[in-house]
Amino acid sequence: MKSTNKKGVKQLVDILTSQGVRHFIISPGSRNAPVIKALTAHPDTRCHSIVDERSAAYVALGMAKALDEPWACRAPQEQQL
């Protein structure tokens, strides 16, 4: 099992928030835990939990269009095409 680069995850969150991303769709699960921990610890982020990872990207897209703000989500590996 690969260890998590906690510093890298924090840097990713810092970069995204510096670019104006404040809303994040998260999905529960152990492989998402490092990212979820970094997002929830950051003072400028708002996390929205969507249990089904397959639909998370569609929720993020719809919310971005509705609110005219950037949103982000972590896509499962099999959907990162």
**CA separation for the pair 62, 56 (Å, rounded):** 10
What does pLDDT average to over the chain?
86
CA dihedral sign, ordered 15, 17, 61, 76 = positive
- Residue 71 is predicted with a pLDDT of 93
Residues with pLDDT less than 70, the chain: 1-4, 75-81
Residues with Cβ within 8 Å of 76's Cβ and at least 6 positions away in sequence, in order, are 53, 54
Q: pTM score, two decimals?
A: 0.80
What pLDDT does 1 receive? Answer: 47
